[in-house]
Every structure is written in C-alpha cells, then in structure tokens.
C-alpha cells in the first residue's frame, strides 16, 4: 500500500500527510518555500518538482525510507468536522472548479436528482447542505451511491494510512491554530530558507469556487444534522479533541494525545 497522500521536502527533513480541506495548499507552499526560497507558481497540488510526493514515482523510495526509518519529522494537520464538511459543500458541490466545470462532472446532477439539493441562484443553503450531508453519510457508511470522496472522508481515515504503514507522527496541528502549530513544526527541522508564518500568504485553492456562506456555522446543523455528523466523524471528534455538542465552537477543546492517536489509528 505504501504511503499515499504523503509529501516531503526535497531536503528530506519534513514529511506531511496531506488531509484535504485542512490547510493542505498552504502547508505544501511552506514546504516548497523552506527548501527553494520561492513559492510554487500555481496550485501546489499541480507541482511535479520542488517537493516530493507519493504520487510521483521517483519520490516513493525516498518517502518510504524517511517514514519507515523516522529520519524526517512527520506531521499532519486536522480540522473541526463541522467546518470541514461545510467547506467541502461550498467548494466541491456549489462551486465551479479551476477547470471551469463542476466537481467530478456528473456528481452535482446526481445530487440534484437523488437528494434534491440546489446550487444555483439564491438557493436555500441550509436545506441543500443538510441534503448533501445525508449524501456524504451514505457514501461513508454505505458506499452508495458512490465511494466516499477524499474531501469529506474522515480525517482519521486519511491520517491512519501513515500509521498503518509503519510511520509515526511527531506532531499533529490544527487548522484553527495553524500559525502556532506550523511554527512549532518548523522549530524541529533545519531550514534552507527562513519563512515568516505570520506574514506569509494563505494559499486557499478552493477560495472563490463557490458562493459565500450566508449563515453562521451553527445554523446549518440542527439536531439531526449534528447526529449525522457525529455518526460519520465520531473518531475525528474523539482523537482530535473537537466539541461534538457545539458547532459554533470550532477550536479544539483539549490537547491531542499522540499515544492515543497512534494506538487507535493502528488498530
């Protein structure tokens, strides 16, 4: 199986397990900059050089060695399940992607037909989101009408592949306190080019794809929606210490226990 979804600096000092909708564009650009002194010109997901990726055949032996031997500092970044699934809806379902088309071609027409969502004009965002949430639950719990998409698959599922393959996380940071977490990560490695995390740009490849969110986060989640989110993401809430009872509280409510994370993800 190897280590899908992993990136590494070309200097082989830092390994990152990519988790969609969790600041991955910004993290990739940080990794590119500290090695090369420049940001990648474009979406870092398109980069074929300046950074190692498991998707690039020549990078795989280097990544496998660094992860299995523990020679590189390894980390990932997580996010509150409520804001992550909401972001996936506005970006991937409501938005037009970089290629000018809807995400995954026939996906939105399928959702319109089978789940009654709307994405055009002045639509009811709350009603459509809750119908999308039902669809996301169906894909994750029952793998119908399709397999779950990486953008709404549980964070724990993504993070587990590095651990089950024999890797180990030295740090797990949160999107909600990104600057603090990223600074702590960089303190642990040698850097070719210093970067100021406080003043660097934020790279959000999904920004502008979809309509603006019209309501506070908590308005999208009634009791049934909260129940579905917990049904899908119960492990994310438990391992990464988010508040399942209050969608308005996006911040972690406790420190992540790395020993617990490794034990649960390994199992």
201 belongs to a structural domain: no
Q: How many domains is the chain built from?
A: 1
45 belongs to a structural domain: no
The beta strands (E) that lie in the chain are given as 6-8, 14-17, 52-53, 73-78, 171-174
Tokens of 177: 């306190």
129 belongs to a structural domain: yes
For 35-92, the pLDDT digits (tens) are 999 999 999 999 999 999 999 999 999 999 999 999 999 999 999 999 999 999 999 9
Residue range 220-247: mean pLDDT, rounded: 98
For 107-143, the pLDDT digits (tens) are 999 999 999 999 988 999 999 999 999 999 999 999 9
The conformation of residue 175, written as its DSSP 8-state character, comes to: G
259 belongs to a structural domain: no
107 belongs to a structural domain: yes
229 belongs to a structural domain: yes
220 belongs to a structural domain: yes
- Look up the domain containing 121 and give its range: 81-151+210-233
What b/e string do you get for 118-137 counting C-beta neighbours within 10 Å, with b at 16 or more?
A: ebeeeeebeebbbbbbbbbb
Per-residue model confidence (pLDDT) at position 207? 61
CA distance 6 to 62: 11
208 pLDDT higher than 70: no
90 belongs to a structural domain: yes
Q: Mean pLDDT across the chain, nearest whole number?
A: 95
């Amino acid at each position: 199986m190897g280590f899908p979804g992993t990136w590494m600096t070309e200097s082989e000092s830092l390994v990152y397990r990519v988790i969609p909708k969790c600041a991955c564009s910004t993290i990739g650009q940080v990794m590119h900059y500290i090695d090369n002194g420049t940001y990648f010109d474009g979406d870092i997901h398109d980069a074929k050089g300046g950074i190692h990726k498991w998707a690039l055949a020549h990078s795989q032996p280097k990544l496998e060695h660094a992860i299995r031997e523990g020679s590189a500092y390894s980390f990932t970044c997580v996010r509150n399940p409520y804001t992550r699934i909401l972001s996936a809806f506005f970006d991937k379902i409501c938005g037009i992607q970089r290629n000018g088309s809807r995400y995954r071609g026939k996906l939105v027409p399928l959702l319109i037909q089978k789940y009654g969502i709307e994405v055009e004009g002045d639509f009811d965002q709350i009603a459509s989101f809750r119908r999308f949430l039902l669809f996301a639950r169906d894909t994750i719990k029952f793998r119908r009408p399709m397999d779950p998409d990486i953008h709404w698959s549980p964070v724990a599922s993504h993070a587990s592949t590095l651990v089950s393959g024999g890797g180990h996380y030295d740090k797990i940071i949160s999107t909600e306190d990104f600057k603090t977490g990223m600074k702590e990560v960089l303190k642990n490695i040698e850097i070719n080019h210093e970067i100021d995390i406080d003043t660097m740009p934020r790279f959000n490849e999904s920004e502008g794809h979809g309509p603006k969110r019209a309501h506070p986060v908590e308005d999208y989640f009634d009791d049934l929606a909260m129940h579905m989110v917990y049904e899908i993401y119960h492990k994310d809430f438990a391992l990464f210490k988010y508040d399942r009872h209050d969608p308005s509280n996006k911040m972690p409510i406790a420190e992540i226990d790395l020993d617990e994370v490794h034990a649960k993800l390994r199992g």
